[in-house]
Amino acid sequence: RKVSLALTLIATVVILLLSDFTLRAQQMPEITINLYPAIYAVMTWFLASNFFKLILGTWHTLRGPDDNPWHPSHSAREPRSTARVAIVYPVYHEDVPRVAAGMAATWASIERECPQYSHHFDNFLLSDSRKLEYNVV
């Protein structure tokens, strides 16, 4: 976090100095020279901040979980026995057999990959369909 902040600050200052030099070289009016960097600084700060977060995040990801202090596996815990997970399927005028097959495949995948946790999952079908031929019974 500190590295990202430092890199963002350095990049913003360097870019603002370059833009100030360019504006003065083009003999812009004084109000433009004063107003433009203020607006440009905010945009540059957010751009540089996101760029360096992306680069540092990619670097940590490529190092793997052992060398990454923020990897989720370091704080992962078993779910509480009362924990519930809702799997929501929003549909609107979709093919009923395809939706049902997708729901069945998702449930089969959960039971195959982590049967010890399958009791934590609830499936919900949300349908806005107004046509009777799309109703699932």
In this structure, the answer to whether residues 68 and 117 fall within a common structural domain is no
Provide the whole-model pTM.
0.48
In this structure, the answer to whether residues 121 and 98 fall within a common structural domain is yes
In this structure, the answer to whether residues 54 and 104 fall within a common structural domain is no
Containing domain of residue 25, as a range?
Answer: 2-72
Residue 23 has pLDDT above 60, yes or no: yes
Q: Does 80 fall in a domain?
A: no
CA distance 42 to 19: 13
In this structure, the answer to whether residues 57 and 96 fall within a common structural domain is no
pLDDT band at 134 (very low <50, low <70, confident <90, very high): low
In this structure, the answer to whether residues 100 and 67 fall within a common structural domain is no
Which CATH number is 125's domain given?
A: 3.30.429
> How many domains does the chain fold into?
2
pLDDT score of 113: 95
In this structure, the answer to whether residues 96 and 122 fall within a common structural domain is yes
In this structure, the answer to whether residues 121 and 95 fall within a common structural domain is yes
pLDDT score of 73: 81
Task: Select, from the ranges 35-39, 67-71, 118-122, 133-137, the one with the highest average predicted confidence (pLDDT).
Answer: 118-122
37-70 confidence digits (pLDDT tens): 888 888 888 989 899 889 988 888 888 788 777 7
Alpha helices in the chain (DSSP H): 2-25, 30-63, 96-113
Establish how many alpha carbons lie within 13 A of residue 72's alpha carbon, considering only the half-sphere containing its beta carbon.
2
In this structure, the answer to whether residues 55 and 21 fall within a common structural domain is yes
In this structure, the answer to whether residues 60 and 6 fall within a common structural domain is yes
